[in-house]
Structure 1
């Protein structure tokens, strides 16, 4: 039997070991079993739903979309780690990567992968939506000035959020904060 000619891509998509979905303009068109298990939502709720259903707050959904759009439009791909929300309301760290299926019109169709990082990086403090956003960028190694420019705040405001995060995580240095945000290494 010639395996190359008999590849069932629909089955591969459905059984992939990480969450996957196809979207158009931030609306889920198709998703696999791993995504439904990760978020605790069945396919009936996910198909035709906005990505907003996966975010802790509508504001975080809007701000993340505004941050991602210019990068997707320029590069045709995007990747980050952010805090997402399960149907149970549990917050968890997730590695999210996306790629445009049509580089000329990146928002028309995209494929996204979601990797649950909760076993390696638990969400260990009560954070505001803005603190979650800034935490994700701190983990990426961005400076306060870079974060401020990317999300439209003053560097001083970002520094204030960073200071609050350091207090919440009992961190005395930025590198200690990053280590605590990343969680225990297993």
Structure 2
């Protein structure tokens, strides 16, 4: 390939229309413009920072990491939708996908993408950190038993949180709750 046909991957990374970053051990090594715009944090604040800066609470950062690590180690990739936090403290739904660059090495570098879903799915009720976690898993279609097993709660406790969410969102069925969480109903 001559110099005219060389693809500038670094420039493509920085100008990609979706938030992207490279990380190792949950520390951001590089990020692109779309990510800095989405989170309202300059590259100088994101690079060398822990992903914790992007989460509503330190506890949510810890619990999410504990849930994701075994999946990343086994599959080499992970994807979900969760509530994240901008520098302005605004909470928003975000589709997050990641993959390891070397599947054989568990502490390898990872690439992550972040898609802001706030235009399609606003965060419309005040939720506790646990309710945000359970909401994200309900949106994925997980049952109370599976949610309970994955986050170390009893199914009864998950049902209690689901009932609180149904009241907060004025939903009469679990299906209606999921639709409201997805922003399909108002």
TM over 0.5: yes
Residues 114-140 of structure 1: CA deviation (Å, up to 9, x unaligned): 000000000000000000000000000
Partner of 1:142: 142
> Distance between the aligned counterparts of 2:173 and 2:4, measured in 1?
53
> Distance between the aligned counterparts of 2:61 and 2:127, measured in 1?
16
Partner of 2:83: 83
Partner of 1:176: 176
> Distance between the aligned counterparts of 1:112 and 1:106, measured in 2?
16
- Write the mapping of 1:30-109 to structure 2, written as runs, cut at 5 A: 30-109=30-109
Q: CA RMSD in A?
A: 1.4
Deviation at 1:171, TM superposition (A): 0.3
Partner of 2:124: 124
Distance 1:5 1:60, change over 3 A: same
Q: TM-score, normalised by structure 1?
A: 0.97
> Distance between the aligned counterparts of 1:132 and 1:139, measured in 2?
11
Partner of 1:164: 164
In the alignment, does 2:13 pair up with 1:13? Answer: yes
Deviation at 1:2, TM superposition (A): 6.0
Deviation at 1:4, TM superposition (A): 8.6
Deviation at 1:105, TM superposition (A): 1.3
Distance 1:104 1:166, change over 3 A: same
Q: TM-score, normalised by structure 2?
A: 0.97
Distance 1:4 1:95, change over 3 A: farther
| 1:107 alignment partner, SS class | coil
> Distance between the aligned counterparts of 1:161 and 1:3, measured in 2?
58
Aligned length: 185
